[in-house]
A and B are shown apart, each in its own frame.
Chain A
């Protein structure tokens, strides 16, 4: 009975979404305030109904209701409670429900914090979000009902996929979806502006904090996913150019371009059409990401759903959302005129170059990710694009981008006479090169040109981004949050580049057969395989090894990698043993029993790898601080209070 209530709530939410779309869009078109008055209640109603549906499904999980197919497929009586809740988004149907709920949450936030906006504009934004929500809920109900029954109910469930039974992965999908779906808000703002036929600098100011917050969530979501792949899949790397990873990386790259393009639109009223296009593109890629992960059409190491028929629906939905927006764009964009020009060395120009580099990077990822799919759709021979493509192409774009950031940071708006900043440029480059070469030759050694250039550029960005805040501080000027945030995010970029170059060039890895008592040496370090003992968990058993790490012959730490066999799904899982030092990770993962007392062991030293994720968090933190800048807050006292609350929520 209770699961049917969930389904009923979902149907009602669909109707609410329809009401929100119709009253929001048509009401704004007719200019009838009575119609517009319906929109906010519809948003609130939809949120309540979606929350009910989510609550019902969580209740079904927690109360072991195996008569619900989705629960029976993704849970088990031996599964710990925490993972029974997280199992909600452990597979296709529940993930969609979560997507829909998060969309309802974002829409609710828009409804709450848009009272200072013109009524027709706010209604159009919510109307567009209603269309998105309607499409998604229809998809959920039509192809992937999470409340479908399984009668007679099985005695026990098939358990959650063991790779998903991990704290980082339990929170990674919601954060990632907060980012994906948040791009829908930027998209809705863009569509509403085009419908209004009015896109000015205030529009950009309204849009910026929403986009930045969505981008922060996306950054953290991607970083958590990458971290999970590192220690849970037991491969010991931060990025595998897996289609599922790429699917989240593309909207991030375009979203990064968007937040910078929005800055130009707000400050100078330029790049309007380009900004609109990026907003459409960012959300399209978010939808495509959902499509790629959820339709199972790609050869991927960890997409855990496979049903191409669902893909067709999402593809149709995608065509409607992108096509509709692009038609709107073709109709309205010619109306948008940019008032002023700028020099090729002005800040606008550098932001344009950075946009080109970011979109080019997204294109590289796009080609590599979708070429196999396109080839397949055209009925040609099945191909795959190896990581080599990305590893060869992406770094050049990235290095160009980082160098452009380092130079562009010093450029002034409108008339960028770089000559005036020549001193800063040279000091920045000199200090960056000095620090970078110190890292390369002091801590490591010459490996290859590209990583050395990368490390120098990373240091250069960090130094360059510090000039302005230090200058303001010395001249006792105010330091707005926007600038603090920007500085932190750019430092994050520099840290990220340095860390990636170090990991790519100075990792030491050995896959070796080892018997207890044997040692594998790696430079100053050595791993000694001590013992192997059985372990048992709530829903698995396995073996646990004890590996002592020696540095210059002295033991420094003991690692405990595990090999687990999950009972219900009868699958084997690797739990890596990792010890994080300040400058490197000591990583060990067990392979398999090779016989003759030996095990295959993967031993690695990964320099600076934790800084890759730290950098992502720095970028997100910077974004959150920038989004909380009082500049974005509204003048009316009540609204001001609300915005402050958002700011506080974002900063945490």
Chain B
């Protein structure tokens, strides 16, 4: 009798432990997953208004504005059909350049994407896969060259 009770409690304990761990894990996972949107989706209002997400596209040529002597930078991210203005304060990656692919993490604020992290891979040929897919699925109008 004692042994059976003991085993029962052990099974209950293990089940409870596993459930709690699984629940915590799911919560942690959900709060750390970030979705990807391109400028066209943002123009269509698909991006969540109050959640962080990933914005990807090309840095529009001639759009990068820096305030001299500070780390504030503004630029436009485009998929050649729509553009999204982006603001960022901080160090830019070495490969951040006009006319090249970029992925930014951040949130929308009154039509402006406030980035807290800018990613650009350490590879000259780099085009973020998501950006490449977005451009492939929705090819830009033929009169625009992608510059890559």
Contact = CB atoms under 8 A, between A and B. Distances in A.
Contacts of B69: 513, 515, 594-598
B71 A301 contact: no
B8 to A, nearest CB: 16
Contacts of A382: 35-36, 130, 133
Greatest chain A CB density within 10 A among B25, B32, B125, B130 is at B32
B74 interface: no
Given A513-B70, A574-B94, A602-B91, A161 B123 contact: yes
Given A594-B68, A600-B71, A572 B34 contact: no
Contacts of A234: 94
A299 B66 contact: no
B122 A233 contact: yes
Given A384-B54, A511-B91, A574-B94, A596 B68 contact: yes
Contacts of B103: 299
A598 B70 CA distance: 8
Contact of B36 (A297, A383, A594): A383
A367 B32 contact: no
A575 to B, nearest CB: 11
A109 interface: no
Q: Interface size for chain A: under 10, 10 to 19, 20 to 34, or 35 or more residues?
A: 35 or more
B71 A385 contact: no
A512 B34 CA distance: 28
A592 interface: yes
Interface SS of A by simple majority = mixed
Nearest to B130: A382
B135 interface: no
B29 A385 contact: yes
B70 A301 contact: no
B95 interface: yes
A197 interface: no
A156 to B, nearest CB: 16
B139 interface: no
Given A511-B71, A511-B90, A384 B36 contact: yes
B36 A300 contact: no
Given A302-B122, A367-B29, A382-B130, A595 B68 contact: yes
A299 B129 contact: yes
A596 B133 CA distance: 39
A582 interface: no
Nearest to A296: B129
A332 to B, nearest CB: 29
B66 to A, nearest CB: 6
Contact of B92 (A392, A571, A591): A591
Contacts of B70: 513, 594, 598
B123 to A, nearest CB: 6
A652 interface: no
A191 B102 CA distance: 46
Interface of B: 25, 28-29, 31-36, 54, 66, 68-71, 90-92, 94-95, 103, 105, 119, 121-125, 128-130, 133
Given A299-B103, A595-B69, 14 more contacts: A161-B123, A163-B122, A301-B119, A302-B123, A304-B123, A383-B34, A384-B36, A384-B54, A385-B32, A389-B32, A392-B32, A571-B124, A594-B68, A595-B66
